[in-house]
A and B are shown apart, each in its own frame.
Chain A
Amino acid sequence: MNQKIHDVLTQNNSDRTRLIDMLWDIQRRDGYISDDIVKLLAEALNMSSLDIDETVSFYHFYRTKPFGKHPIYLCDSAIGRMNGYQEVRAALEGETSGVFGSVSQDAQFGLDETSCIGLSDQEPAMMLDDVVFTRLTPAKVRTIIDQLKSGQSPEEIANPQNHASSSLKYVESMVDTGIQNQGPVMFKAGRDYRAILQACLEQRPDEIINEVKSSSIRGRGGAGFMTGLKWQLGREAEGAEKYIICNADEGEPGTFKDRVLLTQSPKDVLLGMIMGGFAIESHVGILYMRAEYAYIKDYLQRQIQDFRDAGLLGKDILGSGFDFDIRIQMGAGAYICGDETALIESCEGKRGTPRVKPPYPIQQGYLGMPTIINNVETYACISRIIEKGGQWFSSLGTEASSGTRLLSVSGDCARPGVYEIEWGVTLNDVLKMVGATKPMAVQISGPSGECVSVAKDGDRQICYGDLSCNGSFMIFDQSRNLLDIVKQFMDFFVEESCGICTPCRAGGVDMRTKIERVIDGRACQQDLDECVSWGALMRATSRCGLGTTAAKPILTTLDKFPELYAEKLNKTEHLLLPSFNLEEAIGEYDNAYKVLVEEARK
């Protein structure tokens, strides 16, 4: 075996389903993944090189060329753009003498952009591989770049007190906690995990499932499937092994509550996973975490180890005879991996392409075995439900939406951060709580959700059946240009579409062209009608949730703020089509004249 890949293969048992890990190992060592390494890996794993390239090229954070000593990923999000992103971007280019999308001439800095990195409460923010910097200003950028130039590492700059990477202090040296209120369910200090788990393991698995059912909890990822039913199906499913997966690929722009849960209450989440394993008789848990949260990984690994050391994970947990362990699977930069079947594909070392359903994960999931996937927040809730009882949980919230919900609040308000609310509170309640003084619109559930008008929808309830919310809550006040935000969201979906199905891959691009046309003042009523019709096509025919929701930034703003579109329409009587861009069409004239006439004269 070639020495260059020997260690990487050994650490991963030459298991091709661990390709994501191998690629990370290589990139951490070499800075990028070279063609030579891909060839060697392909040979060792009996794959064609292009098959490995399929995976490498799918994920945003894998680099196939050197990208400077310090690769910098600046978060480009709607919230960032409201908080000085442009100035920070310019400062980064100025200080590094680099240009975004390339490596600086001295090969010290690579500059790139990335979608929301789960720090909307403290943007602008950027990643330097495993280290993040928040609340950036041009002055702060200058300081950081100077320090990097003087030879300090990103870790040393972000963590000057040199806390161990497995400590909470390390994480908090980079990122603010973000908890803004104290609710009944989450973030309880001093929980006796051993006693809670002991009590759980003394019951029968079906009793645990009944408890979950009686809580009426719905999955917190956004789709709102009844978790108790999912677990029952998982228990009934037959397989040589079963898997419990925690979806910590928190990629929806504007949401960061899972980041806060994983840093402030990681053991709640782990405990919920163990309970799930016990309930469905699984022995393996996988926590799939987005690459953007790499700075939490060592800390989380430490939490898992704490549980192992205390006998709460591993063989014969608390003497019950039940075996269960958890591993962390890192992602590599793909929003689509938040889709449960795409996430499974990624866990298996492949492109994060959503699978054709059926079969559902509950039937054939990870490695073809029955698999339960729940959101980080769902597992944390479960740990409390098993402790306090399903009835207690279902007494919170509304009848159709039991319990509480963590909201990631960002944008135009006095106190962005994470709030625990009981389902059923109104939009206005939340806006008041977070100190939003002049709100115009709220983007509920991120770009894939809906944009609501505060004037029209202020009394609506946050709950299933009305405004169901996956946790993302972005506030835009009257000074914001909503159409520009819509355009950014469409850019996001075009960038993140996996491309496997036609309506999402091709439709997203055409929809984005429409909003650009509106913004440029080149749209007519027909363009808006086509937005509605093409959006319906994408919604009805796309393969997964990304495609079915990708038109919503346009459709929901068109519904709530039709006047913003109407005033941009081109209503002039003209011989040219409204969409015809005269300036663009003749824009090359000067250049062409220069080339064809002036140069020819010389």
Chain B
Amino acid sequence: MSVSITLDGQEITTEEGATLIDVAADNGVYIPSLCYMRGKPCLGTCRVCSVKVNGNVMASCTVKVADGMAVEVSEPEVADMRKALVEINFTEGNHNCPSCEKSGRCELQAVGYEVEMVTSRFPYRFPVRGRDHASKHLFLERDRCIFCQRCVEFIRDKDSGQKIFSINGRGSHAQIEIDVDLADKMTPEQVTEAAEMCPVGCIIEKDLGYNDAIGKRKFDVKTLRQRALEGEES
């Protein structure tokens, strides 16, 4: 059913039950996110896509549009909340873009530019969570994990459907784990999919890094915003 909502004051027509972050993108309004992937089930973990819906702050990846919704994206208070959430991701882990294999292909870095982050308002924690090099094709740089859950939910063993990636522990003690046996069975395509799906430099493909020159990297060629507005499925 066709419904109408307002997006930053502009009236738009869309389908009832569509996901708000998609509706916004389809209407030229980019809302940053670090966990949501168009075409895949909502994870609702990073909260970076928060907007105001009828005055209440909600993560736009979790909102199904309904007739008459008043959505504010650029409203300063909620825009600053999005920025704060990006900033806190930078300080909770270790994100040193200049030395990172993922630089130029990293969504956290790209979103950092999008929200015009200069530094983080939160204290840097410099965690030491340790690496895991045990699998043949991938390694985990755990200090960069933002716990988005993409790999946990979307990368599964092709035969059994079992989880290859998982989260151990809870809260601030949590850390990402990889099942080495299952990981070693991954096809080259799946290995690439996992590494590309990771929005930060946590899941890294071995023997690959710094392949594209600055200026020719993924988000140099086409920004995350452009990709989102073109409706690109991640």
Does A49 contact B171, Cβ atoms closer than 8 Å? no
Give, as a whole number of angstroms, the nearest-CB distance from B18 to chain A: 13
Interface residue A505 (Cβ < 8 Å from any Cβ of B): yes
Task: Please report which residues of chain B, range 2-55, place their CB below 8 angstroms from some CB of chain A when the two chains form the complex.
Answer: 42-48, 50
Note all chain A residues with C-beta closer than 8 A to B177.
50, 53
Does B193 touch A at the CB level, under 8 Å? no
**Do B162 and A499 have beta carbons less than 8 Å apart?**
no
Tell me the bound Cα distance from A494 to B177 in angstroms: 21
A502 and B89: CB pair below 8 A?
yes
User: Quick check: is B121 within 8 A (CB to CB) of the other chain?
Assistant: yes
B57 cross-chain contacts in A, Cβ below 8 A: 540-541
Q: Is the CB of A497 within 8 A of B47?
A: no
By beta carbon, the residue of chain A nearest B48 is A502
Q: How far apart are the CA atoms of A509 and B174 in the complex, in Å?
A: 13
| A147 to B89 Cα, complex, angstroms | 51
Establish whether residues B85 and A537, one from each chain, have CB atoms under 8 Å apart when the complex forms.
yes
CB contacts (< 8 Å) of B170 on chain A: these are 57-58, 334, 351, 497-499
A36 to chain B, nearest CB (A): 16
Q: Which of A530, A534, A537 has the most CB of B within 10 A?
A: A537
Asked if A54 CB lies within 8 Å of chain B CBs, one says yes
**Interface flags, A38-76, vs B, CB<8A=1, else 0:** 000000001111110110011000000000000000000
Question: What residues on B are CB-neighbors of A57 within 8 Å?
Answer: 168-170
* Bound CA–CA A494/B172 (angstroms): 7
Closest Cβ of chain B: how far from A166's Cβ, in Å? 33
Q: Are A47 and B123 in contact (CB under 8 A)?
A: no
CA distance A586 to B199 in the complex (A): 38
In chain B, residues 165-179, which have Cβ atoms closer than 8 Å to a Cβ of chain A? 166-174, 177-179
Q: Judging by beta carbons under 8 Å apart, are B174 and A50 in contact?
A: no
B47 contact from A46, A499, A543, Cβ within 8 A: A543
Contact check, B162 vs A48: say whether CB atoms are below 8 A apart. Answer: yes
Chain B interface, number of residues (Cβ within 8 angstroms) = 46
A447 within 8 A of partner (CB): no
Question: How far in angstroms is the closest Cβ of chain A from B112?
Answer: 14
CA distance A494 to B170 in the complex (A): 10
Contact B179 A50 (CB under 8 A): yes
Q: Are A51 and B81 in contact (CB under 8 A)?
A: no
Task: Give the residues from 62 to 103 in chain B that come closer than 8 angstroms, CB to CB, to chain A.
Answer: 62, 64, 78, 81, 84-85, 88-89, 91-92
| Residues 240-282 of A contacting B (Cβ, < 8 Å) | none
Chain A 494-520, CB within 8 Å of chain B: the 1/0 string?
A: 111111111101111110010000000
Q: Is B81 within 8 A of A53, CB to CB?
A: no
Return chain B residues, CB-CB under 8 Å to A505: 92, 147, 171-172, 174
CB-CB under 8 A for A509 and B43, given A53-B166, A502-B89, A541-B59: no
B160 at the interface (CB under 8 A from A): yes
**A596 lies within 8 A of chain B by Cβ:** no
Q: Which residue of A lies closest to B82 (CB)?
A: A541
Q: Are the CB atoms of A356 and B62 closer together than 8 Å?
A: yes
Query: CB within 8 Å of A: which of B114-142?
Result: 121-123, 125
Looking across the interface, which residue of chain B has its beta carbon closest to that of A509? B172
Nearest-neighbour CB distance to chain A for B205, whole angstroms, equals 20
Asked if A51 and B166 make an inter-chain contact with CB atoms under 8 angstroms apart, the answer reads: yes
A540 CA to B146 CA, complexed, in Å: 20
Roughly how many angstroms separate A152 CA and B181 CA in the complex, as a whole number? 46
| Chain B residues near A542 (CB-CB < 8 A) | 47
Q: Is the CB of B167 within 8 A of A502?
A: no
Whether the Cβ atoms of B89 and A506 lie closer than 8 Å is yes
Q: Does A357 contact B (CB under 8 A)?
A: yes
Decide if B109 is an interface residue (CB 8 Å cutoff).
no
Report yes or no: B47 in contact with A541, Cβ–Cβ below 8 A. Answer: yes
Given known A46-B160, A48-B179, contact A501–B50 (CB-CB < 8 A): no
A240 to B42, CA, bound (A): 25
Pair A503/B172 contact, Cβ less than 8 Å: no
Contacts A497-B170, A510-B123; is A502 near B81 (CB within 8 Å)?
no
> Closest Cβ of chain B: how far from A242's Cβ, in Å?
23
| A358 adjacent to chain B (CB < 8 Å) | yes
User: Does B163 make an interface contact (CB < 8 A)?
Assistant: yes
Query: Is A51's CB under 8 angstroms from B85's CB?
Result: no
Cα–Cα distance between A543 and B48 once the two chains are bound (Å):
12
Which residues of chain A come closer than 8 Å to B171, judged between CB atoms? 494-499, 505, 508
Picked from A51, A357, A358, A501, the residue with its CB within 8 Å of the CB of B46 is A501
Residues of chain A from 529 to 553 with CB closer than 8 A to chain B in the complex: 530, 534, 537, 540-543
Interfacial chain B residues near A46, Cβ < 8 Å: 160-162
The yes or no answer to B184 lying at the interface (CB within 8 A) is no
Q: A503 near B85 (CB under 8 angstroms)? A: yes
Contact assessment for A54 and B168 in the assembled complex, using a CB-CB cutoff below 8 Å? yes
The chain A residue with its CB closest to the CB of B61 is A356
Contact across chains for A48 and B163 when beta carbons are under 8 A apart: yes
**Which residues B146-163 have CB closer than 8 A to chain A?**
146-147, 149, 157, 160-163
B50 partner, pick from A58, A357, A358, A541, beta carbons under 8 A: A541
Instruction: From the candidates A500, A530, A534, name the one contacting B149 in the complex (CB within 8 A).
Output: A500
A495 vs B169: C-alpha distance when bound (angstroms): 11
CB of B164 within 8 Å of the partner chain: yes
By the criterion CB–CB under 8 Å, are A501 and B179 in contact? no
Contact (Cβ within 8 A) A50 B147: no
Chain A residues lying within 8 Å of B146, measured Cβ to Cβ, are: 502
B44 touches A50 (CB 8 A): no
- Is B197 positioned at the interface, with any CB of A under 8 Å from its CB? no
Whether, in the assembled complex, B182 has its beta carbon less than 8 Å from a beta carbon of chain A, the answer is: yes
Whole-angstrom distance between the Cβ of B41 and the nearest chain A Cβ: 9
Residues of A within 8 A of B173 (CB): 499
Q: Please name all residues of chain A whose beta carbon is closer than 8 Å to the beta carbon of B43 when the two chains form the complex.
A: 356
Q: Give B86's nearest chain A residue, CB to CB.
A: A502
Which of A356, A499, A507, A513 touches B174 (beta carbons < 8 Å)? A499
A498 proximity list for chain B (CB < 8 A): 170-171
Given A57-B168, A541-B50, verify A49-B179 contact (CB < 8 Å): yes
> Which residues of chain A are within 8 angstroms of B123 by Cβ–Cβ distance?
510, 513
Partner of B147, one of A58, A502, A537: A502
Contact of B85 with A47 in the complex, beta carbons under 8 Å: no
A356-B44, A501-B47, A505-B171 known; A48 vs B62 contact (CB < 8 Å):
no
With CB as the reference atom, state the residue of chain B lying closest to A496: B171
Which of B88, B147, B162, B167 is A47 in contact with, Cβ under 8 Å?
B162
Closest partner residue, chain A, to B42 (CB atom): A356
Please, could you name 16 A-B residue pairs with CB atoms under 8 Å apart, sorted by A? A53-B168, A54-B168, A57-B170, A58-B169, A334-B170, A356-B44, A358-B62, A358-B64, A499-B167, A499-B170, A502-B88, A502-B92, A505-B171, A509-B172, A513-B123, A543-B44
Residue numbers of A with Cβ under 8 A of B are 46-51, 53-54, 57-58, 334, 351, 356-358, 494-503, 505-510, 513, 530, 534, 537, 540-543
- Which 5 pairs of residues, A with B, have the shortest CB-CB distance? A540-B57, A356-B44, A497-B171, A50-B166, A48-B162
Contacts from B to A (Cβ < 8 Å): 42-48, 50, 57, 59, 62, 64, 78, 81, 84-85, 88-89, 91-92, 121-123, 125, 146-147, 149, 157, 160-164, 166-174, 177-179, 182
Given contacts A54-B166, A510-B88, 5 further A-B contacts (CB under 8 A): A57-B168, A58-B170, A496-B171, A498-B170, A541-B81
